[in-house]
Amino acid sequence: MTKSESKQKLLAKKPGSIAGVVSIPGDKSISHRAIILSMLAQGRTRIHNILDSSDTNKSLNAAINLGIECKKKDGCMEIRGKGLYGLKDPGQELFFGNSGTSMRLFMGVLAAQKFSSTLSGDSSLNSRPMERVAVPLRKMGARIEMENDHAPIQIYPSDQIIGTKQRLNVPSAQVKSAVLLAALYANSKTVLSTSSVTRNHTELMLESFGCDIRHNEQEIILEQGELKGINALTIPGDFSSASFLILASLIAKDSQIIIKNVGLNPTRIGFLKILQMMGGKITTTIDPNNSYEIQGTIKVKSSELHGINVPSNLIPRSIDELPLVFLAAACAKGTTTIRNATELRFKESDRITAMATLLSQLSIDVKEFNDGLTINGGVMSGGEIDSFGDHRIAMTALIASACSKADILVHNTENIDTSFPNFVGIMNQLGMDIIDPEC
Ligand code: S3P
């Protein structure tokens, strides 16, 4: 979408200090998994603090189209699963909008059904790579067709999903999760090894639903079998959404915030490690009564950041926060290098080019490589930015106002709703000054 076609824009004015104590809406990745596993389980699951966003609603709609009753009740989402073999033919194309997680995880489920399905998304999702999911599923006997690596995707019933031993070379939790979901239907156990550590929410939640799964950072072994509904499943606050608050309070003057009930899964919090290496004053406290996911409190204070070489083992653990790492680098003293991040080119936008463009427009010296950026920290001007239709780029651009010299106008911001619908409200409550310039 071009600037002139953009439906919504937001203006971020330079804020004073950022302060307060907040909780963050539920984690997007974990909410998708909660919907899908509740749908496949036998019996009712009640999900507390589920994220209500346009992305998670795509998973919910798909579950409803597959014949599953999902309703809001007593402040939680109640899903009545019908077991692995209880889904019905939707009789229509399943539309996943902008949600890559929904499409890829549902591919794993639908590959094992006795009916055919068609999956499609918006223009951004229909241009993202999907063969990476189809390839390991086909090794399990799935019948999946698409043109040119892109949705629309056609899935046909297969005779049998086969238990396989596979190594997954794409560093993607979505690929791993699709394979694990198909593996629930396999005729024997599935053994997966992975090339790098990615978020393990599917493994942890499968365990909670009673699946026979053993996993560590290198290997996962899953025995096929039914899942059991959970009476109360609570979704922790989304660490990726919290990251916008964390960086805003680090780079704004005289700021201090506390974020409660936020997910602190070690496979997700590489961003905290990177910021701490850059001099960020951040502490975490883990809640005593953790269940399937670790959650706790994060405290952040304004800090003088300095440039670093970001270690490559932290890249998959901070994959969604790398636009914010680029922004932190722009506000830091000295040079920061982020490489081995080619995966960023396959997100809701090409986030390497998007961030190189954004930072250059804000007068920051950036060098782009195929797999990352080198950024020389400097004085950031204000400016007018396009989000490339990407929620995380839009929010990163708005946060930049916490250390820019002047206001930042961001075009094409409607996609913020895919992951963090109350972003503007929460940021302004903490002291940011983000407005709709047309109101
Ligand atoms: C996600 C995995 C990551 C991440 C995405 C959510 C998930 O994608 O970028 O926002 O919920 O599994 P990849 O699996 O493509 O790395």
Atom from ligand 1 closest to the CA of residue 176 = 14
Atom of ligand 1 nearest to the CA of 316: 16
Domains recognised in the chain with CATH numbers: 4-26+236-435 (3.65.10.10), 28-230 (3.65.10.10)
Interior/surface letters 362-394, b for 16+ CB within 10 angstroms, e for the rest: bebebeeeebbbbbbbbebebbebbbbbbbbbb
Question: Per-residue pLDDT for 2 more than 80?
Answer: no
Residues 6+ apart with CB under 8 A from 27: 51, 201, 235, 236, 237, 238, 239, 240, 263, 293
Give whole-number Cα distances, 103 to 121, 174, 334, 379, 385, in Å: 8, 9, 40, 41, 29
Q: What is the pLDDT of residue 3?
A: 40
Q: List active site positions.
A: 320
Residue nearest atom 10 of ligand 1, based on CA coordinates: 320
Distance 323 CA to ligand 1 centre (A): 14
pTM over 0.95: yes
Beta bridge partners of 144: 155
pLDDT at 133: 98
Ligand 1 centre distance from Cα of residue 317 (Å): 10
Residue 66 pLDDT class (50, 70, 90 cuts): very high
- pLDDT of 289 reads 84
- The pLDDT score that the predictor gives to residue 218 is 93
Q: Ligand 1 atom 9: the closest Cα is on which residue?
A: 320
Digit-coded pLDDT (tens) for 273-318: 999 999 999 999 999 988 899 999 999 999 999 999 999 999 999 9
Q: For residue range 363-420, what is the model confidence (pLDDT) as tens digits?
A: 999 999 999 999 999 999 999 999 999 999 999 999 999 999 999 999 999 999 999 9
Residue 6's pLDDT is what?
Answer: 52
Q: What percent of the chain has pLDDT over 70?
A: 99
